[in-house]
Amino acid sequence: MRFTLTALTCSALALPVAAETTVNLSHGAVDSIETLTYTCDAAASLRVQYVNAGENALALTNINGTPRIFVNVVSGSGARYVSDADTLSTKGTTALLENQMDETEVLCEQSSDMPQE
């Protein structure tokens, strides 16, 4: 009986699920949310929402149509965010998106000096 319940639970968990992702930070109030748009190599654009809440800093964007959450890590200069094999590094008005697995880089420049809504 125990094996049957485990098997049913595992098969239920394996079903495809379509849902919107919501992230709640319970470590205090959000200090700032800023959305910037960058123009990248080959005229592609990258829209990034930066969320800062105390010691927590996130960069939210879409990579190849997939929503991604990047977390801030230690950087010697500028800011650096990671998500899986991707790294987003920013300094001034420049952003560099790198993938460690396929060793690709996309260089981007902020579209304007003013944050986007």
Q: Which residue has the higher pLDDT, 81 or 21?
A: 81
Within a domain: 15: no
Residues 54/27, Cβ–Cβ less than 8 Å: yes
Domain containing 45 equals 30-110
- Tell me which residue of 117, 82, 78 sits closest to 99, measured CA to CA: 82
Residues 47/35, Cβ–Cβ less than 8 Å: yes
Within a domain: 51: yes
Helix intervals (H) in 14-90: none
Residue 112's pLDDT band (boundaries 50, 70, 90)?
confident
CATH of the domain at 99: 2.40.128.200
Instruction: Judge if pTM exceeds 0.75.
Output: no
Q: CA 81, 84, 86 angle in degrees (round to 5)?
A: 55
Residue count of the chain, please give it: 117
Within a domain: 14: no
Give the distance from CA 63 to its chain's centroid: 8
pLDDT at 55 over 70: yes
Within a domain: 40: yes
- What pLDDT, on the 0 to 100 scale, is given for residue 26? 59
Q: Which residues pair with 53 in a beta bridge?
A: 56
